[in-house]
Chains A and B, each alone.
Chain A
Amino acid sequence: MIPLLVAQFGVLLLVFVALLTSAAVMVYAERKVAGAVQQRFGPYLVGPKGALQPIADVMKLLMKETLRPAGADKWLFILAPLISVTAAFTAFAVVPFGSRTTLFGLLDEPVTLQVADVNVAVLVVFAIASLSVYGIVLAGWSSNSKYSLLGALRSASQMISYELSYGLSLAAVIVLAGSLSLREIVEMQGGYWFGFIPKWFVFLQPLGFVIYMIAGVAETNRAPFDFPEAEQELVAGYHTEYSSMSFAMFFLAEYINIVTVAAVAASLFLGGWQMPFVPELVARWSPEAAGLLTPVWFLIKVGAICFFYIWMRWTLPRLRYDQLMTFGWKVLLPLSALNLLVTAAAVIYFA
């Protein structure tokens, strides 16, 4: 029998490895989807259907020389990618990716499939999102390069602008659920309305979901909001001067951030590890198996949202900078404030 502490450590290790792997999978998926969108093959030489391409990419990056521009702030230049990666990994710690399981009686007590069941989890996600901007800003500033600095300035103003809508869309869900714990919010979304509509918050918060998805793209700095690294204007933006592993760390952070945004979206709006109908059929056969399958449902939802983000990136052109700001402040923010007000009023009215 394995004690609970060891099992929890196992969960921690699993999440770490899974996040690293997810970044590799995301790189491959991005290149394949980009290929499909642009009617070409994408990577196909390394491994079966090019599946080992991310490993080749990482090897290539590792063997490059680490450069540091003259006049760069040495410590901050090294620290910036570390902040980005650390923030990216930390945010996922509070996301529940499955229900409790004993691994078919292997464990004495059921282990919770979540690294840290924090009771203010939603706010922790928000706090780490607001801290992760420092990685990008410091990278841009410490590089001592005008392209990097412009990228960092854009990134800071963009993230500040969209964080408000992001936070307000989270707040609407918090008001609806009456809880700040992601685990409780997910558990609340089990069951059905009228016997067939799953009780996912996306049906109560359609506007909130759309706002969260848009603000999520802006928070992860991806097209059509990829201003911090707009390659046609800024070479590569904040990571212009980075090479080798420190460059790879920014990419790792970007992909893990997408996965985390998708995971939080799935937990808040799409019922997290809940799934309609199928688990009940499995539970009839073995309740333990139904519990073990919950990460699979979670993975399907996260994968679908990630695919949506990649699809959007290769389909939509980048906005103009003034459009970005106008949209953030004059459209998204009033809409999310309205959404919060209506939600709060409805909760009071129906309570």
Chain B
Amino acid sequence: MTELLTFYLFAAVAIVASALVVIRPKPMHSVLLLIVSFAALAGLYIGLDAPFAAVIQLVIYAGAIMVLFVFVVMLLNAHREDEKLGASLKGPLRAGVLLGAVLVAELVWALTRFGGGRGSLFARGAGEGPGEASVAELGRVLFTDYALAFEATSILIIVAMVGAVVLAKREL
């Protein structure tokens, strides 16, 4: 009962905060609401018996990545969104809505077909009791079964990092 209650609580917070991220006119408020949404997701992970994933979510997304977002908003001194810009974004807006709809359809299809959550990355470790057992298991799975995906992701991140440095330091 409490599990269901906390699930709905965190889910509601995540959805409302995410909606407000889009709606709010001030960029700084949007960034903070996104952090709230990430924190609510972390709460959902705890409900799924994956405390490690929850804390990592907080450290990486709510902590490290969003600090950079806040940094950028601060440096740009963007107190309000540009209203004129909104009118010129009609095309991308439509494409975004379409993409979102496709994603929802895909998720509904995948979840109804392969529902239950068994066999997922985090659920495996959680079976042997939460906490450090799941951390060790997560590490083992990550570096054996999912080694290719892991390495591909790290190469992707390196490429993105090098790209960012090249873009920022054009004069050098």
Contacts and interface: CB of A to CB of B under 8 A. Distances in A.
A257 to B, nearest CB: 15
Contacts of B68: 160
Contacts of B28: 73, 76, 138, 141-142
A119 B70 contact: no
Contacts of B162: none
A123 B62 CA distance: 14
Contacts of B74: 137, 140-141, 149, 152-153, 156
Main secondary structure of the interface of B (DSSP, over half): helix
B43 interface: no
A179 B63 contact: no
Contacts of A289: none
A153 B55 contact: no
Nearest to A124: B55
Contact of B55 (A127, A137, A138): A127
Interface stretch (B88-96, B97-105, B109-117, B130-138): B130-138
Given A119-B132, A120-B131, A141-B28, A131 B71 contact: no
A138 B35 CA distance: 13
Interface in B42-63: 51-52, 55-56, 58-59, 62-63
Contacts of B32: 76, 134, 138
A156 B131 contact: no
B136 to A, nearest CB: 8
Interface residues on B, range: 20 to 34
A133 interface: yes
Interface string A137-150: 11011100000010
A234 B78 CA distance: 22
Interface in A298-332: none
Contact of B71 (A130, A153, A179): A153
Given A134-B35, A137-B74, A149-B74, A127 B59 contact: yes
B71 A123 contact: no
B52 A120 contact: yes
B87 interface: no
A180 B64 contact: no
Nearest to A76: B28
Tell me which of A76, A127, A156, A157 has the highest count of chain B C-beta atoms within 10 A of its own C-beta. A127
B67 A119 contact: no
Contact of A130 (B63, B131, B135): B63
A118 B51 contact: yes
Given A73-B28, A127-B58, A137-B74, A181 B64 contact: no
A130 B64 contact: yes
Contacts of B63: 127, 130-131, 133
A179 B132 contact: yes
B132 A133 contact: no
A178 interface: yes
Nearest to A141: B74
B55 A156 contact: no
B70 A134 contact: yes
B51 A120 contact: yes
Contacts of B62: 127, 130-131
A305 to B, nearest CB: 24
B59 A133 contact: no
Nearest to B133: A119
Nearest to A160: B67
A93 B64 CA distance: 22
Contacts of A119: 51, 130-132
A133 B67 contact: yes
A126 interface: yes
Given A119-B132, A120-B52, A180-B131, A156 B70 contact: yes
Nearest to A122: B55
B172 interface: no
Contacts of B70: 134, 137-138, 141, 156
A123 B55 CA distance: 6
Contacts of A181: 131-132
Interface of B: 26, 28-29, 32, 35, 51-52, 55-56, 58-59, 62-64, 67-68, 70-71, 73-75, 79, 130-132, 135
Interface of A: 73, 75-76, 118-120, 123-124, 126-127, 130-131, 133-134, 137-138, 140-142, 149, 152-153, 156-157, 159-160, 163, 178-181
Given A75-B29, A160-B64, A181-B131, 7 more contacts: A120-B51, A134-B67, A141-B28, A141-B73, A142-B28, A159-B67, A181-B132
18 contacts: A73-B28, A76-B32, A119-B131, A120-B51, A120-B52, A120-B132, A123-B52, A123-B55, A127-B55, A134-B32, A134-B35, A134-B70, A137-B67, A138-B32, A142-B28, A149-B74, A156-B67, A160-B67
